[in-house]
Structure 1
Amino acid sequence: MLSGKTKADLGVGAEASLTPRPSAAPRPTRPRAGRGLGALRRHSILFFLLPVVLYLPFFAYPIGYNFLVSLRDYTLSSLITGEAPFVGLRNLSSVWHDPIFLTALRNTLLFTLLSITCQYVIGLAIAVFFSRPFFLSRTLRSVIILPWLVPGVVTTAAWKWMFNESNGLVNRLLMDVGLDPIGWFSTSSGAFAAVTIVNIWTGIAFTVVMLHSGLQGIPADQYEAASLDGAGAWGRFWHVTMPGLRPVTGIVIILCLIGTLKQFDIVWVLTRGGPGNATQLLSTWSYQLSFGEQAFGRGAAVGDFLFALSLLAAAVYAIWNRRTTR
C-alpha cells in the first residue's frame, strides 16, 4: 500500500524503482579445465612409470647380485657346497693390481673410442646421402640395416673367414692390388684392427637408422633460409644439419658407447682376447676369470669396474645433454 500517494507524488524515480527488473539469466557452468588436465597428467605419469617398475627388477637384480658375488670367494666348489667365504674388497683389489687390468682397460677405452668415432662419421655420411630420395634408395637402405638384424656370432664368423691369413678374401684383395698380406690374427696390431673393423661395421647400421630419422625432423625452411643468407653446402651442413642432429647425436653416442663397452661376442669369436692379451677387453677378461679359471668372485669384480665405466658414461651424457638443452 502507498498510503494514498499517487504516482505523480512519488515522482519518476520512485516509479522506476517500483518497476520489477527482469532477472538475469543464469550463466552456464563450465567444467574446470585444470582438473581434467591434472588428472590426465597424473594418469600419464603412472602409465609411463609402470614399465619402469616392471623392468627395474630385471635391471637391478643382476647388478646387485654381481656386486655381492664380488665380495665373496666364489669358486667351482662353492657351487656344490654353497659355501663362499666373505672377503670384502679383496677381489676388487686383486683385480685392480693385476697387470692384465691396465691392458684390458686400455684396450677397452681405445676400442670404444675408435669404434664410436668411425661409426658416427661413416653413419652420418651415409644418412646424409640417403636424406633425399632417389632411385632404389629404399632398397639400399634396407640392405644397409641387414648387419644390424643378423646375429653377431654369424656375422663375426663370416668376418673371421674373410680375415683368414692364408686364403681369406681381405688378404687376397690386398695381394691383387700389390700389397703384402696382413697377419690379422697372428700380430697384435692386426688382431686389434680386425676386431675394431668388425665392431664398426656391425654398429654402422644402427647409427644410420637413428641419424636418418633425425635428418627427417629438420625443417626444410631452415636450409632455404641458410641458402638465402649465402651459405653453401658445407655452411648448411655445419650450421643447420649438425645443430638439428644434436639431440639424436647424444642418444646415438651414449647407446653406442654402452654397447661397445660391453662388447664380447665379436672379440671372443675372432681372437679370444689374444694374441698375448692384445685384444683383451674387460668383458672378455671377466668371462675368462669366471668360466676359464672358475674365479667367479674376481670375474664379478671386473664386471663391477665395467658397470662403473658405463655409469660414468651415462653421467657424462646427462651433464652434456643438460648443458646443450639450456
Structure 2
Amino acid sequence: MPSSPQFQQPHNRRQSGPIVQSAASSSSNIAVSDGKLHLQEEDHSNGFNPTSTFAPAWSEFARNVSGEWDGHGADFTKEGYPIELPENVVPEAYREWEVKVFDWQTQCPTLANPDEHILLYKNIELLPTVGCEADAATRYRVIEKNVGGLSNEVFAFAYQSSGCYVSVLPIQDKGTYKLQELEYCLINPQDKESRVRIIQVIRIENEKMMLQNIRVYCENWYGPFRNGDQLGGCAIRDSAFACTAALEASEVVGTWRGLGAVASFRGTQNNVLQELLVNSEQSSMRDESGLVLLPKRLWCSIKESKDGDTCSEVGWLLDHGHAITSRCTFSSTATPKAS
C-alpha cells in the first residue's frame, strides 16, 4: 500500500454551517480561453434566503472534503442508460445466474492540505464480490488525481467551504479531438457525510463540445483519511443504484431561483484554484430539451445557446422544489489549445 502524504491531516471534518448556493466563472489559457463554472442551491419559483461562507474557506473545505468516502459508482451513456460492467470482472456465480452487474463498489480516499492549496484523491474500483465479502475485495483500477502544487493536473478548480467543488481536467489528446472531464462534487446540505460526484466526459472537436459519457459516484464519509487502507465493506449505507428508477423530468423543469457565488479564472492567470464567493441571486429556466435523467434524483445536460456558448449542467433534487445544481459554461471562442 502506498505511503500516505506527509502534510498534516485536517481534523473534525464535520461542520455545522450551511451550504450556500453558489456559482463560479472560469477560463484557462491552456484549456479553453473563456468560460464559467457555476454551483447553486436553488428553490423552484420562490426566492432563497442567502447565507454566508465561512473564513478561512480553504481550511474548512480541507476539513470537509478530506477522509474516506466509500460507496458505489456506475457509468452511463450520453443518453443516461447504465453501462454493464465488463464480463471478465463479474463473479462466475453471477454469470451462471445470468445476473447483470452495473455498479462498482468504490473508495475515494481524499486529503486536502489545510495550509496550502493542494488536494489529492483516488478513485478506486473494486472487483464485484458475491455476498458480504467486501472486506476481501480486490482493487480493479485506481486513478489518482492531483489538484494544486507541482503535480497539478486541472485547468480550473472552484471550491466551497462545505466540501462542494467543480473541476475541469484534461484526460486525452487524440489529435483531431480532445477529451476532458468536468467533475462536480455536491454535498447534501442536510447530511454533510453524504455526497454525489457526477463526471461528464466531454469531447472537444472543431470548437464544439459534446457529451461522450457520464460517470456517477454516490458516496458516504466513513472516517478520517487512511489512504484507502480501510473499506466500509458491508457497513456501506448505500446500495447499488445504476438500474434504479431515473428522475422524472417534470420534477426539475420550470423556473428556479437561488443565490449565486462566483470564482473567476481569466486568461493567463496562474492560480487554478479559486474560492466560490457569494455574488447575487440568480434565476434560471430549465426545460426538457437535452436533459439526461439519472437515478438517485440526479440529472445532467450539455447545451449550446443561441449566442454560441456551451453550458454543461448537473443537478441533485434534494426535496420537491429544492435542488443543488452546478454548471460550467464555455464561451463561443473557447477553443482547445495545445498543452
TM-score by length of 2: 0.23
TM-score by length of 1: 0.23
Higher-Rg structure is 1
More helix by share: 1
